[in-house]
Amino acid sequence: MQEFARTDFATLVKEKGAYFLTRLKDLKSRHKEIGDVDGLGLALRMEMCQTDSFTPNRTLADKMFQMGLEGNLKIHGKTLGLILDIGGYYKNVVTLAPSLNITNEEIDLAIDLFDLIISKCK
């Protein structure tokens, strides 16, 4: 409870969410398989599509999900896994709801992991 009293979470979430969304949009510019990217605060979503950036691609989302669970993503000298929350009507939407205390470095790592996993799953 004291943490909430000491921290201005409204401002923090707005700033971190804007940073994360900007980084997701940059990622989208590099991968045609990413369709709609949006969100509010730290409640974000990234739609996985065919290369037309519109047609839902559940197969790609499923591959990303499976590869993340395998825990064999080699990045920055480490081997990591990535647990994804996949939803949406076509089961092709990656839902992001990170900790309110996420750092910019952790956001950057998430973007690097998404970049790697999308590249491997194409």
End-to-end CA distance of the chain: 45
Q: Predicted confidence band at 48 (pLDDT cuts at 50, 70, 90)?
A: very high
Range of the domain at 61: 2-121
Domain count, the chain: 1
Mean predicted confidence (pLDDT) in 43-58? 98
pLDDT over 80 (residue 3):
no
Mean pLDDT to the nearest integer, 95-103: 95
**Which whole number is the average pLDDT over 13-33?**
98
Q: Specify the pTM.
A: 0.93
Q: What is the mean pLDDT of residues 31-46?
A: 98
Question: How far lies 21's CA from each of 44, 65, 111, in Å?
Answer: 7, 21, 10
What pLDDT score was predicted for residue 12?
Answer: 93
* CATH number of residue 23's parent domain: 3.90.1150.10
* Of the candidates 106, 118, 46, the residue with the CA atom closest to the CA atom of residue 76: 106
Burial of 119 (0-12, 13-18, 19+ CB in 10 A): exposed
